[in-house]
Amino acid sequence: MRGDLDALVELWRHLDEVQRHLRIYPPATDQEAVVRSEMTGLIDDADSCTFVVESVAEVVAMATAEVGRKGGLNDTVVCRLSRVVVHPDHRARGVASMLIGHAERFARARGAAFLSAWVYSGNADGKSYWLQRGFAPRAEELVRPILGEGSEEDP
Ligand SMILES: CC(C)(COP(=O)(O)OP(=O)(O)OC[C@H]1O[C@@H](n2cnc3c(N)ncnc32)[C@H](O)[C@@H]1OP(=O)(O)O)[C@@H](O)C(=O)NCCC(=O)NCCS
């Protein structure tokens, strides 16, 4: 798995291509290092797993699953899916379905009652994918800048 890190970061770039222009918060200057360190951190966590699909010895898709208590006012165990991305040359062949199937089995085995997926509101394709797979919106984060342009104090 540690040996796959370069390939996973390469795949993350495809996800970043989709999401880059949708981000409101300015990206960290060392994004790739952050991704690498987060993924390394998950390797030794028994309640997390990054599933990958390989084709001709190349990693072409990934999905990270993290199981934990929801927190706040409930103690439901939820499996959070993130960094779900299939290389553009391998889409529409059931690859993501296979990854999500594995993640779901992983989640059930750890007592999770829900799968949850985080998606940018502007990622129409990503959103329609999750809706098509039976996911429903649960909450929405609303954001307003308070410094400079867009702030209510901006003349
Ligand atoms: C979204 C994504 C992961 C789908 O991967 P994929 O391997 O092409 O998906 P699959 O082939 O497994 O598709 C499974 C099913 O979902 C459907 N589907 C695929 N993409 C879809 C989309 N954007 N909207 C609606 N349905 C979609 C397929 O038709 C298929 O339906 P079926 O089972 O009835 O035949 C892939 O397009 C991707 O990597 N997108 C860029 C990154 C991204 O936006 N990730 C998700 C948000 S975090």
| Calpha distance 40→47 (Å, rounded) | 14
Two structure tokens written together for 127:
């959103």
Instruction: Report the pocket of ligand 1 as residue ranges, CB < 6 Å.
Output: 15, 18, 84-86, 91-97, 119, 123, 125-126, 128-129, 132
Question: Which of 10, 89, 102, 129 best tests ligand 1's pocket when mutated (most atoms within 8 Å of CB)?
Answer: 129
Question: Which of 98, 127, 132, 135 best tests ligand 1's pocket when mutated (most atoms within 8 Å of CB)?
Answer: 132
In this predicted structure, what is the pLDDT of residue 124?
A: 96
Neighbours of 22 (CB within 10 A): 12
In this predicted structure, what is the pLDDT of residue 150?
A: 63
Domains belonging to the chain, first-starting first, are: 2-132 (3.40.630.30)
Half-sphere exposure of 22 (CA within 13 A, CB side): 13
Question: Which of 89, 115, 125, 135 best tests ligand 1's pocket when mutated (most atoms within 8 Å of CB)?
Answer: 125
The pLDDT > 70 percentage for the chain reads: 95
140 — pLDDT class (breaks 50, 70, 90): very high
How do 74-86 and 114-117 pair as beta strands?
parallel
Two structure tokens written together for 88:
């553009």
pLDDT tens per residue, range 127-139: 999 999 999 999 9
pLDDT at 19 over 80: yes
Mean pLDDT of 76-90: 96
pLDDT tens per residue, range 106-128: 999 999 999 999 999 999 999 99
Mean pLDDT of 85-90: 96
Question: Which residues does 89 contact at the CB level (< 8 Å), separation at least 6?
Answer: 60
pTM: 0.91
- Residue 129 alpha carbon to ligand 1 centre in Å: 5
- Residue 145 alpha carbon to ligand 1 centre in Å: 32
